Amino acid sequence: MKVLFPRTSGNSMTGVLLNTAGGITGGDRFDINAHARTDCHLILTTQAAERAYRAQPGETGRVSTRLTVDEGARIDWLPQETLLYDHSALDRQLTIDMADTARFVMCEPVVFGRVAMGETVARGAFRDRVDLYRGGRLLFADRTRLDGQIAETLRGLATAKDCAAMASVLLAAPDADRFLAPAQALMPATGGVSLIRTGLLFARLLATDSFELRRTLQPLIQLLSGDQIPRTWMI
């Protein structure tokens, strides 16, 4: 794993994560740590879609990310799509530890199978955990668990209505409330957004493929993170 820093302006820095291994296979282990100190702004994205390849039985790729955001600081966590191949096994944990006056923007898109090639994730294992602490207290947690016959599970009315792409989008900031109405205006039929509590805005989106998903995500990220959207998210 490498980080490139192509752009710095004022207190803002963009870091582009580059997985030199070209993807994640079963048994891989990645740990990412980033810390934005007081009043700094760090934008993190990835150079390409992250691929979770077919895993050997009993092996699971693990990605653990820890982000720390100090008083008045801000992190935008905007990786490109994570692409799950058929028979992949991926276990991810994202932990955010932010100060009360900090700002955190997250967009985590996941795509099930190489849709353009007609591939689905017939079988696989995907665990995704997000824990966000603000002022030391657990404010938001999300747990996604897809095991076994993933394509079959995703077919349901309550699960994904056969959508092959999904995203979780989060804004934790003192002024998050004012983004609710404009974010609602961007939602497609298969996406929703809610101000769960004051200062905490969460959106869940589904789409037939990553192209459709990006059509919603791009303006949504633009809205939530302002004009400093990483180049990887421009369309």
Residue 22 contacts other proteins per CB under 8 A: no
Widest distance between CA atoms in the chain: 49
Residue 182 contacts other proteins per CB under 8 A: no
88 secondary structure, DSSP code = B
Distance of CA 67 to the CA centre of its chain: 13
- The SS3 assignment for 126 reads strand
From 47, 153, 208, 218, residue interacting with other proteins (rule: CB under 8 A): 153
Closer to other proteins by Cβ: residue 53 or 140:
140
Residue 52 contacts other proteins per CB under 8 A: no
Distance of CA 174 to the CA centre of its chain: 21
Q: What would the two tokens of residue 86 be? A: 């058929």
Residue 106 contacts other proteins per CB under 8 A: no
- How far apart are the C-alpha atoms of 45 and 47, rounded to whole Å? 7
From the CB of 117, what's the least distance to other proteins, in Å?
23
Burial (CB count <10 Å: 0-12, 13-18, 19+), residue 178 = exposed
Residue 13 contacts other proteins per CB under 8 A: no
Closer to other proteins by Cβ: residue 85 or 202:
202
From the CB of 8, what's the least distance to other proteins, in Å?
34
Residues in the interface with other proteins (CB under 8 A) total 39
Residue 124 contacts other proteins per CB under 8 A: no
Stretch that binds other proteins, among 1-9, 27-35, 114-122, 134-142 (CB under 8 A): 134-142
Closer to other proteins by Cβ: residue 42 or 169:
169
- How far apart are the C-alpha atoms of 48 and 38, rounded to whole Å? 29
